[in-house]
């Protein structure tokens, strides 16, 4: 997953990467941290929409300085069973 955005500091980028790479339920003291990865087995268009909704909710809760602009999918490799997603965020606290 690629994280991009306007005025995105390396620290905020790292926080988003950690949030997106962590499955929900795997952090002992905060079981809600991370993403519900159930979208992985869905068709690509559905998975992208489910991921965008999940990321938006979790950004609002855990990284309120950022707002999700959109999640874009690169369908070039979807024949191989993989889809690269780009998460585009905006820093709302400046």
pLDDT of 57-81, one tens digit each?
A: 999 999 999 999 999 888 776 667 6
pLDDT band of 92, cuts 50, 70, 90:
confident
CATH class of domain segment(s) 2-91 = alpha beta
> Is the full-model pTM beyond 0.95?
no
What percent helix, strand, coil does the chain show, rounded to 5?
Answer: 45, 25, 30
Contact indicator for 53, 61 with CB cutoff of 8 Å: no
Which residues fall within 8 angstroms of residue 39, CB to CB, at 6 or more apart? 46, 47, 50, 51, 54
Question: Residue with structure tokens 């950690």?
Answer: 18
Contact indicator for 47, 60 with CB cutoff of 8 Å: no
């Amino acid at each position: 997953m690629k994280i991009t955005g306007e005025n995105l500091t390396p620290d905020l980028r790292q926080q988003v990467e950690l949030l997106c790479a962590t499955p929900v339920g795997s952090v002992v003291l905060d079981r809600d941290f991370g993403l519900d990865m159930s979208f992985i087995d869905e068709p690509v268009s559905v998975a992208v929409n489910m991921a965008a909704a999940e990321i938006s909710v979790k950004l609002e809760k855990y990284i309120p300085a950022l707002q999700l602009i959109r999640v874009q999918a690169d369908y070039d490799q979807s024949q191989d069973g993989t889809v690269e997603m780009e998460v585009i965020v905006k820093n709302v606290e400046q």
